[in-house]
Amino acid sequence: MTTKQSLRAAAVARRAARTGEARVAAGEALLRHGLAACAGARCVAAYVGVGTEPPTVPLLDALHASGVRILLPVIDGTDLDWAAYDGPATLADRPLGLAEPVGARLGAEAVRDADVVLVPALAVDRDGHRLGRGRGYYDRALRTVIAPVIAVVYDDDVVNAVIVESHDRDVDGWVTPSGHYDR
């Protein structure tokens, strides 16, 4: 029987097998498709890909350089707060191995200012079901978001089916190194 834990383990293993060079190349490819996914946005809520996650800093830097306001999550207990991104030098290593902005906290509701929300995922299926790491931070944070929510994943993270529970928040699309897709 497939469980969320087994799907997570498979995704983590796939990502761990990727070389550093392959991750860098994926980040460069994500840049172009991520810009297309965020076209016309004045404010984008995103995250910093760390470890084996798809690298997002090239995309964040390109959006920031073009004048787009970038909001990044900051873990605040069991919820996400948000802070502005002003370049890699304004990031600090934080709990759970995350890179978070060191600037002023804007509050949990700041995500509602975003025109597009880019979220991490271990996997996504074609129905927009997203598999996260299981802590529920994004499911809670996105309950009141109206903007399009787009998962950032590798091509092989788009799977046939993701197990869904009542609290899970679907995504409106996904961006991979090979393209941007809406469900």
pLDDT digits (tens, 9 = 90+) for 116-126: 999 999 999 99
Residue type, 107: G
DSSP state of 18: S
**Token pair for 134:** 């299981």
pLDDT at 120: 95
**Token pair for 164:** 């869904």
Angle at 110 between CA 79 and CA 97, to 5 degrees: 45
pLDDT digits (tens, 9 = 90+) for 149-182: 999 999 999 999 999 888 888 999 999 999 999 8
Maximum distance among all Cα pairs of the chain, rounded to whole angstroms: 48
pTM over 0.85: yes
